[in-house]
């Protein structure tokens, strides 16, 4: 136990060091919130990937994989599809918006009223999501270290605060890249051990326990397989919408140009495509071994499935790997939390504090206020996580699905359709949110399982079927009514004022104008990114390989060699990529 605590403690210090090292990169709000729009594709791709990844993957999602096989992978495959569409079309367009925060793009497209509406409606969603992620992490960490949940939530939240407040988006995105490398190395290593222990992928799949009439793909607890099909289809729709709209375009605002944004999206797509088979193999393996997690973790009650991944690491991986796994889980959750902190702080400062409260504020004042705001949002996330922890018996998987379908999805509709439908009145933006709120309330509180069974003449629905149907009904309602409202608003379009039309024209002109950045200063910054991160990651890889010295069987020692070699290899490749050729001076387009 002390060894695992030491591993996590060292990792925490490493993250805080990243924030301290990258503090010198920040002098303006553009630097603080989007890295000055000067980051290379592999950093941006890592943060795009990590914002869809958290400890929930190792808890709620791993528990779903343990009970229902391949079904949970549909969410991540849908994410991969969303990132592919980023690559094919949206990512360069997002970068070409040429804004510091996503709400600035909303202001250009829908006007100043909508700037404030979206400012104050978008922040709660990301705070709640971050609270869910932090609670998921606390479940595992408290189970391993014996800390109470409240202490785990507070300590983890404070570490994220220190890192993100100190270094801004440079520290956030740099840590995202390092954390991505460590997570993939740890999970690949665990998947390899699970495959070896299970006798191969085919054997693991064939051993997975399924009820009569069920399958490894659709999972258990289903009377109607068609409900799974409906759920899976609309999950694709939801994840496509969530990854391809203005509100979530912040992932690519940090890229140095259009080409780097496109390559970043491809990296996120590849990682998300590979992910499910890697992340969930341990859960599938222990399910096939007949492990009853309810007996192993009786104190967890209905949440025992959330410990599936942890059980595998404790029972089948060498000593010290639990600490490394927890470090990876912290990495995953922190990457999501710090991105949310930085994004929310940027929206508050650039879209409320500066335009409404302090139009004459200096950059130095705005950066100071940004750090204070980040701290306040960090405390809010901790409080939300503590509240979620108090709701006993709440399914993390279902909670995450409900937040996405009933809170997150309706906000993406005007932010997505506004890209393609030009002639809408400005009130279409906030009006769509109002309709979306009504739809979410109706689905969340007015419609119940008995109503649905009577409408469609069904037998009693299982708990899983109702949870899946509730998500699907919410998404259908938003597509039909919320999206329909936005489209119908075009019938009420009237010519805009000259100033507003100028903003709208500028918005669409930016979308269609590629951004290129190849100045001599940019090249120096590119090399600085490669050298600093490459060195940090190589050191982290060497540290993991040093765990070879821990008292383990020989195969266990080589597990750390494999894991550390993957991490160190990436660091060495970055250092080798430093370009020392003479600089060719070109002029960068407006960023």
User: Residues near 202 by Cβ (< 8 Å), separated by ≥ 6?
Assistant: none
Name 451's Cβ contacts closer than 8 Å, sequence gap at least 6.
none
Average pLDDT, integer, range 575-588: 65
Model pLDDT for residues 198-234, shown as the tens digit of each residue = 999 999 999 999 887 778 888 887 778 888 888 889 8
114-123: average pLDDT: 86
Residue with tokens 């600035």: 104
Cα→Cα distances 566→146, 537, 559, 563, 569, Å: 31, 10, 11, 5, 5
Tell me the mean pLDDT in the region 514-520: 80
Q: Which two tokens stand for residue 300?
A: 């967890």
Could you count the other beta carbons within 10 Å of the beta carbon of residue 196?
Answer: 12
Task: Say how far apart CA 286 and CA 209 lie, in whole Å.
Answer: 10
- Segment 314-320 shows an average pLDDT of 86
Identify which has the larger pLDDT, 38 or 582.
38
Asked whether residue 585 carries a pLDDT value surpassing 50, the answer given is: no
Q: Find tokens 């932090």 and name the residue.
A: 134
Q: Tell me how crowded residue 9 is: count the other CB atoms within 10 A of its CB.
A: 12
Mean pLDDT of the 166-177 span: 73
Q: How far is the C-alpha of 95 from the C-alpha of 92, rounded, in Å?
A: 5
Highest mean pLDDT among 338-342, 364-368, 585-589: 364-368
Please tell me the distance from the alpha carbon of residue 178 to that of residue 340, in angstroms, as a whole number. 18
Write the pLDDT tens digit of every residue in 494-510.
999 999 999 999 999 99
Using the predicted structure, report yes or no on whether residue 398 has a pLDDT greater than 60.
Answer: no
Interatomic CA distance for residues 78 and 412, integer angstroms: 16
**pLDDT tens column, 536-565:** 889 989 989 999 998 889 988 998 999 999
The conformation of residue 583, written as its DSSP 8-state character, comes to P
pLDDT for residue 586? 46
**Sign of the CA dihedral with 403 first, then 409, 412, and 413 last:** negative
What burial letters (b/e) apply to 519-540, b meaning 16+ CB within 10 Å?
Answer: beebbebbeebbebbbebbbeb
* CA atoms of 330 and 176, how far apart (whole Å): 11
What is the reported pLDDT for 154? 86
pLDDT of residue 529: 84
Axis crossing angle, helix 60-68 with helix 308-316, rounded to the nearest 10: 80
pLDDT(111) > 90: yes
In this predicted structure, which of 84-88, 336-340, 525-529, 537-541 has the lowest mean pLDDT?
336-340
Inter-residue contact 71 to 218 (CB < 8 Å): yes
Average pLDDT, the chain: 84
The pLDDT, as a whole number, for residue 590 is: 56
* Under 8 Å between Cβ of 532 and 569: no
Residue 244 reports pLDDT greater than 80: yes
Tokens 């809010």 found at? 380
Which of 7-16, 153-162, 522-531 holds the top average pLDDT? 522-531
pLDDT at 329 over 90: no
**What pLDDT is stored for residue 587 in this prediction?**
46
According to the model, what pLDDT value does residue 140 have? 66
Q: In this predicted structure, what is the pLDDT of residue 339?
A: 62
Using one digit for the tens of pLDDT, what is the confidence trace for 10-69? 877 777 777 677 777 777 778 777 777 888 999 899 888 887 776 778 888 899 899 989
Q: How many CB atoms lie within 10 A of CB 5?
A: 15
Q: Comparing 126 with 474, which gets the higher pLDDT?
A: 474
Average pLDDT over residues 291-312: 86
In terms of C-beta density within 10 A (0-12 exposed, 13-18 middle, 19 or more buried), how is residue 343 classed? buried
CB distance 101 to 250 below 8 Å: yes
Calculate mean pLDDT across residues 555-583.
86
- Whole-angstrom Cα distance, residue 367 to residue 30? 9
Quote the CA–CA distance of 93 and 104 in Å, as a whole number. Answer: 15
| 242 against 333, higher pLDDT | 242
């Amino acid at each position: 136990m002390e060894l695992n605590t030491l591993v996590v403690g060292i990792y925490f210090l490493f993250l805080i060091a990243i924030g301290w090292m990258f503090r010198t990169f920040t002098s303006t709000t553009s630097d603080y919130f989007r890295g000055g729009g000067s980051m290379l594709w592999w950093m941006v791709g890592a943060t795009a990937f990590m914002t869809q990844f958290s400890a929930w993957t190792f808890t709620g999602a791993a528990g779903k994989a343990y009970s229902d096989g391949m079904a949970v992978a549909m969410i991540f495959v849908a994410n991969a599809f969303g990132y592919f569409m980023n690559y094919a079309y949206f990512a360069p367009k997002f970068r070409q918006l040429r804004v510091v925060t996503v709400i600035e793009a909303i202001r250009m497209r829908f006007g100043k009223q909508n700037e404030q509406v979206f400012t104050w409606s978008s922040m709660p969603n990301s705070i709640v999501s971050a609270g869910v992620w932090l609670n998921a992490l606390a479940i595992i960490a408290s189970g391993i270290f014996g800390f109470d949940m409240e202490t785990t939530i507070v300590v983890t939240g404070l570490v994220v605060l220190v890192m993100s407040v100190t270094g801004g988006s440079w520290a956030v995105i740099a840590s995202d890249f390092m954390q991505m490398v460590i997570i993939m190395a740890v999970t690949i290593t665990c998947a390899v051990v699970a495959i070896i222990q299970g006798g191969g992928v085919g054997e693991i799949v064939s051993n997975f326990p399924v009820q009569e009439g069920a399958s490894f793909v659709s999972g258990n607890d289903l009377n109607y397989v068609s409900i799974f099909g409906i759920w899976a289809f609309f999950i694709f729709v939801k994840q496509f919408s969530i990854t391809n709209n203005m509100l979530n375009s912040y992932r690519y605002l940090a890229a140095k140009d259009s080409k780097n944004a496109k390559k970043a999206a491809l990296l996120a797509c590849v990682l998300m495509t590979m992910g499910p088979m890697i992340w969930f193999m341990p859960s599938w393996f222990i399910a096939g071994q007949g492990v009853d997690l309810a007996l192993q973790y009786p104190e967890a009650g209905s949440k025992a499935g959330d410990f599936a991944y942890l059980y595998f690491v404790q029972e089948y991986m060498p000593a010290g790997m639990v600490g490394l796994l927890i470090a990876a889980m912290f990495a995953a959750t922190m990457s999501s939390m710090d991105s949310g902190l930085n994004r929310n702080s940027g929206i508050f400062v650039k879209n409320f504090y500066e335009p409404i409260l302090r139009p004459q504020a200096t950059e130095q004042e705005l950066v100071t206020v940004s750090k204070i705001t980040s701290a306040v949002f960090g405390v809010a996330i901790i409080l939300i996580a503590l509240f979620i922890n108090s709701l006993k018996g709440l399914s993390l998987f279902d909670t995450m699905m409900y937040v996405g379908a009933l809170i997150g999805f309706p906000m993406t509709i005007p932010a997505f359709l506004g890209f393609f439908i030009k002639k809408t009145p400005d009130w279409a933006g906030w009006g769509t949110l109002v309709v979306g709120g009504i739809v979410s309330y109706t689905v969340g509180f007015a419609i119940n399982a008995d109503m649905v069974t009577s409408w469609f003449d069904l037998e009693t629905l299982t708990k899983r079927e109702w949870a899946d149907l509730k998500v699907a009904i919410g998404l259908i309602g938003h597509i039909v009514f919320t999206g329909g409202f936005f489209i119908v608003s075009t019938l009420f379009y009237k010519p805009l004022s000259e100033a507003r039309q100028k903003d709208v024209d500028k918005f669409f002109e930016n979308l269609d104008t590629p951004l290129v950045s190849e100045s001599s200063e940019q090249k120096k910054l590119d090399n600085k990114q490669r050298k600093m991160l490459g060195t940090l990651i190589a050191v982290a890889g060497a540290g993991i390989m040093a765990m070879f010295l821990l008292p383990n069987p020989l195969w266990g020692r080589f597990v750390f060699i494999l894991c550390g070699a993957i991490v160190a290899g990436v660091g060495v490749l970055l250092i080798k990529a430093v370009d020392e050729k003479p600089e060719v001076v070109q002029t960068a387009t407006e960023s």
